[in-house]
Structure 1
Amino acid sequence: MSLRHPALALIAAFSIGGCATTPEQRAEAEQRAEANVPPATPAGDAVDCIRTNMIRASHVRSDSVIDFEMKGGKIYRNRLPGSCGSLGSERRFAYKTYVGQLCSTDTITVLYAAPPSPGATCGLGQFQPVTLDKR
């Protein structure tokens, strides 16, 4: 491959290298994100599914934590198996379900506000009933 524009190749190489993060940087970013997650105490056994018609609201806490507030006041915390890019900053997601339940085998898709478009698609974890700790 011949380089007609070596300066562009250098910029591209620098851009790619500039995006790399070390494991320490990723761990530090995860710790900062977790600091925004309200502490909670487990309030029973985790379940695989929750009924969608019982979901009153969802609260995105970070790239990997969503609290589902149910009718009646119960809260289920879902810790995704991994970080879901931009979920914590966009705080919006969509899901499709055909059985009236949202399950740990389902996925969510981050929704970007501007311009409106879909983002990362990520798997869910189990739904842990929790009581949010008073601060």
Structure 2
Amino acid sequence: MPILRPVRIALRLALACAAFPAIAKTQPDPYVAKGDAIDCVSIQSIRSTNVRDDRTIDFVMNGNKVYRNTLPNSCPSLGFEKRFLYKTSLSQLCSVDIITVLWNAGPGPQPGASCGLGKFQPMEKVAK
């Protein structure tokens, strides 16, 4: 029965991996708060976003200014999907606005949980 030996080794390896899950490497936060939080940012000035987790989004603005938005409540799957949409009739995105997580399901992005934004905290890059 030498054929069973590779199967046993593979099974043991699979069980060992399941018993010791990989530990995610967390990156240190490159920013610290600077100044008072504001209610709104200009949509035209948003260059990109960085979803850090289910409650935290960094908005990178023109000129590399960063505003961190900490949602008042956790937004399911936001940290996993790392993408969202918003709708507003104004030229600003404000703390009273709602974002909707975009899930990668089916033929294209599907709407997921909708969550309220918090205030926009100006951030400053930590000097190394």
- CA distance in structure 1 between the partners assigned to 2:99 and 2:88 by the alignment: 10
Identity across the alignment (%):
54
In the alignment, what sits opposite 1:125?
Answer: 118
Greater share of helix residues, 1 or 2? 1
In the alignment, what sits opposite 2:87?
Answer: 96
- CA distance in structure 2 between the partners assigned to 1:59 and 1:134 by the alignment: 20
| Deviation >3 Å, runs of 4+ | none
Tell me the matched-pair count.
Answer: 103
Q: Deviations over 1:55-80 (max 9, x none)?
A: 00000000000000000110000000
Whichever residue aligns with residue 127 of structure 1, its letter is F
- CA distance in structure 1 between the partners assigned to 2:56 and 2:67 by the alignment: 10
Q: Shift of residue 134 of structure 1?
A: 5.2
Question: Does 1:61 pair with 2:71?
Answer: no
Q: Shift of residue 37 of structure 1?
A: 6.8
- CA distance in structure 1 between the partners assigned to 2:112 and 2:30 by the alignment: 28
What TM-score does the superposition give when structure 1 sets the normalisation length? Answer: 0.70
Q: Shift of residue 133 of structure 1?
A: 2.7
Gaps of 5+ in 1: 1-32
Alpha carbon RMSD of aligned pairs, Å? 2.0
2:29 counterpart SS class: coil
Question: Does 1:81 pair with 2:75?
Answer: no
Bigger Rg over Cα: 2
